[in-house]
Amino acid sequence: MRREGIRLSRRHQVWVYAAFGVLFLSGALWLPFHFGGRSQGEFGTASNPAEPWLLKVHGAAAMVTLIVLGSLLPGHVRRGWNIRRNHRSGITLLALNGLLILSGYALYYFGGEESRAVISVLHWILGLLLPALLAWHVWQGWRLRVRSPKT
């Protein structure tokens, strides 16, 4: 079976890395502003003015990332699954993205303040893991390509 369908085109790679990059950076930058960027205002503790903008960028990047993930399913994921390549890192990456999608949705639509705090911590821990898992998946794919003879 041919492997060309597994490797993403340069344009597709740019979309994947740009979407995940903006999503990661906006979320990772939000953390220090949220937890360390507060100031004492006239009416008590005030959040940093960058916080709502970072959340808006994060939400927009999440929507683009959902489209990008959907674009990977019929080609990249299906073909990789069919020829049994890079399963462990691919399944882990898909599961992590599923948990991030669910926890992101839950932050807006589930529970009270107590559950929201737990979901938020879970969401940002998982989000901080994502670049390492994506790098692992890309590295595994590269390693398998280099080791396998071309067919």
pLDDT digits (tens, 9 = 90+) for 67-115: 999 999 999 999 999 988 898 999 999 999 999 999 999 998 987 888 9
Task: Say what the pLDDT of residue 2 is.
Answer: 46
- Confirm whether 4 is domain-assigned: no
Number of domains in the chain: 1
Task: Say what the pLDDT of residue 108 is.
Answer: 87
Q: How far apart are CA 58 and CA 26, in angstroms?
A: 5
Give the structural domain span for 91.
10-147
CATH number at 76 reads 1.20.950
- Confirm whether 77 is domain-assigned: yes
- Confirm whether 82 is domain-assigned: yes
Q: How far apart are CA 116 and CA 104, in angstroms?
A: 10
pLDDT digits (tens, 9 = 90+) for 24-52: 999 999 999 988 866 666 777 777 888 99
- Confirm whether 3 is domain-assigned: no
- pTM of whole model > 0.85? yes
- Confirm whether 134 is domain-assigned: yes
Residue 124 buriedness (CB in 10 A; 0-12 / 13-18 / 19+): middle
Task: Say what the pLDDT of residue 150 is.
Answer: 58
- Confirm whether 37 is domain-assigned: yes
